[in-house]
Amino acid sequence: MRDDDFADGEREDDIMAGERRISRTDTALPDWYVSDAVYRPIPIAWFAGALVLQVLLQPAIVYLGWAGGSSTGFMLACAIATTGLIWYTTQRRGMADASLAWRASTIVMLLFFLAISVIALLA
């Protein structure tokens, strides 16, 4: 193998479209298909993460509280604290910089699942 095989310069086996290299024979994807940008999370990822955490943790908190014989007030406090922690974590991950619509929908979703837990506990 030549020393300059991996250099970024033009090689004779490059597939060109005018002045632009569109592929090399030693790669699986053309250069234009592979992004040069860095990963930039989007609000839907933070929303989905909060949703998954809330859906998994809220029932677990309620079930463990019932199984452990904890008081209803203590379980409510734990459920509220869990929701608050999920909101705080989601804000720290980047939701604080998202639009008002994303933050509002995240709050509504968290409160909806918290309300389900509260109704289950008070029933």
pLDDT digits (tens, 9 = 90+) for 51-107: 999 999 999 988 898 888 889 999 999 999 999 999 999 999 889 988 999 999 999
Residues 13 and 56 both lie in one domain = no
Q: What total number of domains does the chain contain?
A: 2
DSSP 44-111: HHHHHHHHHHHHHHHHHHHHHHHHHT--HHHHHHHHHHHHHHHHHHHHHHTGGGS-HHHHHHHHHHHH
Q: Place 49 in a pLDDT band, splitting at 50, 70 and 90.
A: very high
Q: Are residues 95 and 49 in the same domain?
A: yes
Between residues 113 and 15, which one has the greater pLDDT?
113
> Looking at the structure, do residues 106 and 58 belong to the same domain, yes or no?
yes
- Has residue 43 got a pLDDT over 60? yes
Q: What angle do CA 93, 96, 98 make, to 5 degrees?
A: 100
Q: Residue 15 is which amino acid?
A: I
Residues 30 and 54 in one domain: no
The pLDDT of residue 100: 94
Looking at residue 10, its amino acid is E
64/18: higher pLDDT: 64
Instruction: Give long-range contacts, CB 8 A cutoff, 24+ apart: 5-8.
Output: none
Same domain (yes/no): 21, 59? no
Domain of 66? Answer: 43-122
* pLDDT given for residue 68 in this prediction: 86
Q: Say whether both 20 and 65 belong to one domain.
A: no
